[in-house]
């Protein structure tokens, strides 16, 4: 019996040793010391980003492609009329003619504008360092100010507010960083995608219609707070309400649209992919961007905290140079499969 027990014990030790050798040094259970006495390095892999196929997700689904990525909302395909009717208050020639377009496949659109915290992470990890100053309000006029940038746009911000003082190239660099990080195609929304996502089926010019007194439930705009707290605004035109934020507001502070997107109007102007074209005629009949035209200038949409009712409309088209940075301009991202 003693010999059999000894034999059994020896076999058991041999099996355990073989199992540990089979696990290899990369397994935590098999951490051994090497002949020199130093502990071996345990190799671990970062989990791969979760893959989301937009065409398989239900409309309205909210998701992220990585821990630090912006939340996206799945926007379903559909049709829209772009541009404004002739009788719309504030209409400009750049909104004509009104045309019908299609969004042929689901897209992911940022639930919120990109925040300071998200942009700071990008700048830290990528080494992207915008320079050249920013246009800001000095109490009497807009002036280029070399001391202003996205960290200091000329007013105090929290990390949850939209990043501003970023140009089109900065926004594109952020989207390209997300693409490399996730393996998915991030970019800026095209003009057509932006308007489709902003309207969310609303045929009017804005969710509150032509009543500027109702704007502050939906958007951060030029209002009583700006009139009270922003210096030198005597000549501005204001909405007749108080949204409680003189400058930018934390993203998501106001009501979302029917797609579940926040701040599509107000807070910060948003860059789109498109080159400037003076009218909607000739736009692609789908969601493609307009990659011809005046590509040194890019189109912005949505209005901002500085803007009067005429500018805070779904169909109003604003543009500046792609290299310009302004203290009321930010962006949100879009993503396709």
Angle subtended at Cα 125 by Cα 124 and Cα 128, rounded to the nearest 5 degrees: 65
Q: Which of 92-96, 137-141, 247-251 has the highest mean predicted lDDT (pLDDT)? A: 247-251
Assess contact for 330 and 270: CB atoms under 8 A: yes
The predicted-structure confidence for 318-336, as pLDDT tens digits, reads as follows 999 999 999 999 999 999 9
Under the banding of pLDDT at 50, 70 and 90, the label for residue 23 is: very low
Domain membership of residue 241 (yes or no) is yes
Domain count, the chain: 1
Q: Which residue has the higher pLDDT, 1 or 150?
A: 150
For the stretch 107-149, pLDDT in tens is 999 999 999 999 999 999 999 999 899 999 999 999 999 999 9
Residue range 32-87, pLDDT digits in tens? 323 333 333 334 444 445 568 998 999 999 999 999 999 999 999 999 887 776 66
Please tell me the pTM assigned to this model.
0.82
Q: What pLDDT does residue 52 have? A: 82
d(CA 281, CA 94): 10
Strand partners, 110: 72
Question: In degrees, to the nearest 5, what angle opens at C-alpha 253 toward C-alphas 64 and 169?
Answer: 55
312 close to 218: Cβ distance less than 8 angstroms = no
Residue 44 resides in a domain: no
Structure tokens at 252: 């998501």
φ/ψ of 30, rounded to 5, equals -110, 25
Kindly state whether residue 6 falls inside one of the protein's structural domains. Answer: no
Instruction: Confirm whether 46 is domain-assigned.
Output: no
**Is 157 inside a domain boundary?**
yes
Q: Tens of pLDDT along 254-276?
A: 999 999 999 999 999 999 999 99
- Read off the pLDDT of residues 43-57 as tens digits, 9 standing for 90 and up: 444 444 556 899 899
Which stretches of the chain are DSSP H helices?
2-23, 116-126, 168-182, 191-199, 224-229
Q: φ, ψ for residue 63 (rounded to 5)?
A: -150, 165
At 207-224, the pLDDT tens digits run 999 899 999 999 999 999
What is the pLDDT, as a whole number, of residue 291? 65
pLDDT of 287: 52
Domain housing 178: 54-336
What is the DSSP annotation of 93-116? GGG-S-EEEEE-S-EEEESSPPBH
Q: Which residues pair with 320 in a beta bridge?
A: 298
CATH number where 61 lies: 3.90.1580.10
Read off the tokens for 253. Answer: 């502070």
Residue 1: inside a domain? no
Find how far residue 310's CA is from the centre of its chain: 24
Q: How is 275-304 classified by DSSP, letter by letter?
A: EE-SSSTT--SSS----SSEEEEEEEES--
Residue 242 in contact with residue 224, Cβ under 8 Å? yes
Percentage of the chain beyond pLDDT 70 is 78
In a domain, 226, yes or no: yes
Is pLDDT above 90 for 30? no
For residue 277 the two structure tokens come to 């074209």
Residue 4 predicted with pLDDT over 80? no
In a domain? residue 186 = yes
Answer yes or no: is pLDDT of 28 > 80. Answer: no
Mean local confidence (pLDDT), 268-287: 77
**Average pLDDT score over the chain:** 84
Cβ atoms within 10 Å of 173's Cβ, excluding its own: 16
């Amino acid at each position: 019996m003693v010999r059999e027990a000894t034999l059994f014990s020896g076999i058991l030790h041999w099996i355990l040793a073989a199992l540990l050798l089979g696990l290899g040094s990369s397994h935590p259970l098999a951490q051994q010391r090497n002949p020199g006495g130093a502990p071996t390095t345990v190799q671990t892999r970062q989990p791969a980003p979760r893959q989301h196929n937009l065409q398989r997700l239900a409309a309205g689904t909210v998701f992220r492609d990585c821990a630090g990525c912006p939340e996206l909302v799945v926007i379903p395909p559909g049709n829209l009329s772009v541009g404004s009717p002739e009788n719309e208050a504030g209409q400009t020639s750049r909104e004509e003619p009104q045309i019908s377009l299609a969004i042929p496949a689901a897209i992911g659109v940022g639930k919120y504008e990109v925040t300071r915290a998200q942009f700071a992470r990008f700048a830290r990890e990528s080494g992207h360092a915008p320079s050249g100053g920013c246009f800001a309000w000095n109490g009497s006029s807009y002036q280029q100010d070399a001391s202003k940038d996205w960290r200091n746009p000329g007013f105090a911000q929290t990390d949850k507010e939209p990043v501003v003082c970023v140009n089109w190239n900065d926004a594109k660099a952020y989207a390209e960083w997300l693409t490399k990080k996730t393996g998915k195609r991030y970019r800026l929304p095209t003009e057509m995608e932006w308007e489709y996502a902003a309207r969310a089926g609303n045929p009017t010019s804005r969710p509150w219609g032509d009543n500027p007194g109702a704007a502050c439930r939906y958007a951060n705009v030029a209002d009583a707070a700006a009139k009270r707290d922003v210096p030198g605004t005597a000549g501005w035109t204001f909405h007749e309400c108080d949204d409680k934020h003189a400058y930018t507001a934390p993203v998501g502070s106001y009501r979302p649209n029917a797609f579940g997107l926040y701040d599509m109007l107000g807070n910060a102007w948003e860059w789109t992919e498109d080159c400037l074209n003076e009218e909607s005629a000739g736009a692609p009949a789908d969601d493609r961007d307009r990659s011809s035209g005046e590509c040194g200038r890019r189109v912005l949409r949505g209005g901002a905290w500085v803007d009067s009712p005429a500018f805070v409309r779904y169909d109003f088209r604003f543009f500046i140079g792609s290299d310009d940075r302004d203290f009321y301009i930010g962006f949100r991202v879009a993503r396709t499969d």
